Each structure stands twice: as C-alpha cells, then as structure tokens.
Structure 1
C-alpha cells in the first residue's frame, strides 16, 4: 500500500507548527494516496521517525517522502535524506522514494506578484523590491532565489529587484535595506517565507525602525502562506517523484 509523507521544517512556535500542518493537510486533500501523514524535520512533533512509523503501522509497503521546503539546501540535500536512510535500515521491506522541494518553478512568480500588489497600490518613480530568503551557506540557495527574482522581473512590469537573506548568506537583509535608505522613495520587502513567525516579526521591527529614521515608504508583504499556486507546485513534485521513483 502506498503512503505519502509530507515533511515540513518545523517551528519554535505552536502557531507556526499549526500553519505548516494546515498547509500540508489542505494539499493532501487533493492527493489520492491510501495513507497520508505529516511530520517535521525539527522543532515540532511528530518527527520523521514517528511519521514513517505511522505509515508502516497503517500497512504501507512504499513511502513517498516530499520535503515541504521552499528552496534546496542542506535540509533537503542532507538532513532529510540522512534520516530517511536510517528509517530504511529500520524498515528494509519498505520502498522509499524522495522528492524535491518547491525550488524554482515558473508559476511561483504569479504568487509573488500577488503578494506585492496586495501590499502596494502603486510604484513610485524610485522603487526597489527586496526578495528576502531565509538564507543558507549552500550556494544553490542564492542561485535559486536569484532565478526566482529573474522570473518575477521578466514576467511582470516591476521596478528594480534585489535578493538578500535573513541568515547564513550574503548580502544580509539589514545591510541591503540600510543601503536602500539612500536614493529610494519606496522599498517593497517580499519575504520568501512560507509562514509568518519569528523571522517575519524580526523583519517588521527592522523595517519600522528604518522608516522612522528615513521617512521612506517601506512596505512589508505577507508571507507566501497556503495558496493554490504552491499547492499545484507540491502536487507536481509528488507526481515527479511517483514517476521517477528516486529511491533513497
């Protein structure tokens, strides 16, 4: 019997955990698997081991594991596959396949544009859009976020767009925002985060302080959240994994 295991990152806050679970469960309503479970890489329960155990206890003979992560970095490349290898050794009779994060996908630009236009009625003559990723030491994260920014710029009539990061990568959000205080009337900050949480709260604080100092129009967009576009991308990743059967 086939099982689908959606692996979310996890959150330090109960609200963040519930948002992730709700997102995964809404997506799973559109997926025809006899067994469907949600688990978390870290910080939240159930962890991957418990998620796999639940699938096995329900009679799974194969498990399709999909990381519910925006970009491909160490979590997707090393941490989750490493844990799945441990589970494979625990349950050698189970066939495991492992999919990709959302990654770079053409349709995501439409969601970003929606978040931008929800927050900003119009652009000023000197406007800057900052696409802000969580960040990672993995160079693929910088490359992929830049590709997503390029797709957004190519698909819509937008002002200048720059990418930056909250942690573990350069340029940093605070540095780029500070530099944007020179010469831009309007800065639209687009958090490339699935859900609101501690990171988004920190961004709000930085933006409020700079707006007070510079008098600029600084606009913070909403996190991506549950959206039909992301649901469609996730369904695509699941379908790809079913067809390719990339065994861990």
Structure 2
C-alpha cells in the first residue's frame, strides 16, 4: 500500500506548526493516496521516524517522501537524505520515493504579488522591492533567487527588485534594509519568501522598527500555506511516484 509522508520544516512558534499541519489536512483530499501523514524535520513532533512508523502501522509498503520546503537547499539535499538513510536501514522492506521540494514557480511569485496587493495601497512604478529569503550556503539558493527576481520583474514591470537573506548567505537582510531605506525611495516593499511565521518574521519586524523612519516601508505577510501551493505539491508527488526507489548509502 502506498503512502505520502509530508516533511515540514518545524518551528519553535506554535502558530507556525499549526499552519503547516492544517494546510496538509486540507490538502489530503486532493492527493490520491490511501495513507497520508505529516511530520517535522526539526523543533517539533512527530519526527520523521515517527511519521514513517505511523505510515507503516497503517500498512504502507511504499512511501513517497515530500519535503515541504520552498527550495532544494541544505535540508532537502543533506539533512533529510541523511535521516532517510538511517530510517531505510530500520525498514528495509519499505520502498521509498523522494520528491522534489516546491522549487521556483510562477505561482509562488504570484503569491508574493498578492501579498503586496493585500496592503491595499497603489504600487508606484518606481517602488523598491526587497525579497527576503531564509538563506543557505548552497550556491543553488542564489541561483534560484535570481530566477525568482527575474519572474517578479517580468510580472510586475518593477525594476528596482533586490534580494537578501536572513542567514548563511549575503547580502544580509539588516544590511540591505538599511541601504535601501537610506535611498529615500518613495516605497520600500519588504516581501518575506518564507512559508510560515516564526522567529525570523519577528526579527524582521524588530529590524524595521529600529529604523529612524518606517513610514514608506511596507512589510508584507510571508508566503504562507497558500491554496495555490497544493497544485505544485500534487505534481511533485506524482513525479516522485514515477521515480526509481530511494537507494540508501
């Protein structure tokens, strides 16, 4: 019997964990799979191992592992595969398929634009935009964000679009925020490229509040578990189902 195991990032903030689990519950009817369980990579339970055990207890002999992450950085390439190797050794009878994370997608850029429009303010043609990523030492992260910026510029026709990171990559959020705020631009839109609320969102709010003036700075809502992500998730799972099974080291 087949199963899907959704691996969410995990957060110390309860609301972040609840948002992830609620989104998956709402998505389950759209995914044609008899067994569906969710777990967390870190900072919360159920763990990956507990998630696997729940699938197997319901009769799963084949499990599609979906890393519910925005990009294919360190967690998707290293942390989850390492844990998969360990778990596969415990359950060698179970066939595993490893799905790709959400990746760069036009629909996700559309959500960014939607977050801007939620402010119900006219977006000026010379507005400055700062897209904020979580950050990673993986060079693919910067390549992915270059594509995000290209898509965003193409869809909005805005030219002054910048990228920064909250950790593990440069330019840093605090540095870019101050640089752009000092430009005295008419509007500075700050767009968090994050799935869930948490410590990082709170730190961004504090950083903006520490500036001398914030009248022209608009911090938008994080991407969140938007309904449009379900279609991307379904495609990732379907593609993984056709892949050759996971081979552990």
Pair 83,123 (structure 1): closer, same or farther in 2 beyond 3 Å: same
Q: Name the SS for the 2:45 alignment partner.
A: coil
Q: Name the SS for the 1:29 alignment partner.
A: helix
Q: What corresponds to 2:168 in structure 1?
A: 168
Q: What corresponds to 2:122 in structure 1?
A: 122
More deviation in 118-127 or 85-94? 118-127
Q: What corresponds to 2:82 in structure 1?
A: 82
Q: Name the SS for the 1:33 alignment partner.
A: coil
More deviation in 116-125 or 200-209? 116-125
Pair 125,31 (structure 1): closer, same or farther in 2 beyond 3 Å: closer
Q: Name the SS for the 1:45 alignment partner.
A: coil
5+ residue gaps, structure 2, are: none
Q: Name the SS for the 2:197 alignment partner.
A: coil
Task: Give CA deviations for 1:74-98 in whole Å, capped at 9, x if unaligned.
Answer: 1000110111111111111110000
TM-score by length of 2: 0.94
Cα displacement (A) at 1:11: 0.6
Q: What corresponds to 1:51 in structure 2?
A: 51
Task: Give CA deviations for 1:46-82 in whole Å, capped at 9, x if unaligned.
Answer: 1000100111111101000000001111100011011
**Counterparts of residues 15-34 of structure 1 (less than 5 Å):** 15-34=15-34
Q: What corresponds to 2:39 in structure 1?
A: 39
Separation (CA, whole Å) in 2 of partners of 1:8 and 1:125: 37
Task: Give CA deviations for 1:137-191 in whole Å, capped at 9, x if unaligned.
Answer: 1111111112112111112222411110011110011100100123212100000
- Computed over aligned residues only, the root mean square deviation of the Cα atoms, in angstroms, reads 1.4
Corresponding residue pairs, total: 246
Separation (CA, whole Å) in 2 of partners of 1:165 and 1:232: 27
Cα displacement (A) at 1:20: 1.3
Q: What corresponds to 1:189 in structure 2?
A: 190
Cα contact 1:73–1:138 (8 A) shared by 2: yes
Q: What corresponds to 1:235 in structure 2?
A: 234
Separation (CA, whole Å) in 2 of partners of 1:174 and 1:120: 26
Q: What corresponds to 1:132 in structure 2?
A: 132
5+ residue gaps, structure 1, are: none
Separation (CA, whole Å) in 2 of partners of 1:81 and 1:156: 37
Task: Give CA deviations for 1:14-61 in whole Å, capped at 9, x if unaligned.
Answer: 221111111222222211111100001110001000100111111101
Cα contact 2:132–2:163 (8 A) shared by 1: yes
Cα displacement (A) at 1:222: 0.5
Pair 92,105 (structure 1): closer, same or farther in 2 beyond 3 Å: same
More deviation in 70-79 or 115-124? 115-124
Separation (CA, whole Å) in 1 of partners of 2:105 and 2:95: 28
Cα contact 1:181–1:216 (8 A) shared by 2: no
Separation (CA, whole Å) in 1 of partners of 2:109 and 2:9: 22
Separation (CA, whole Å) in 2 of partners of 1:132 and 1:153: 15
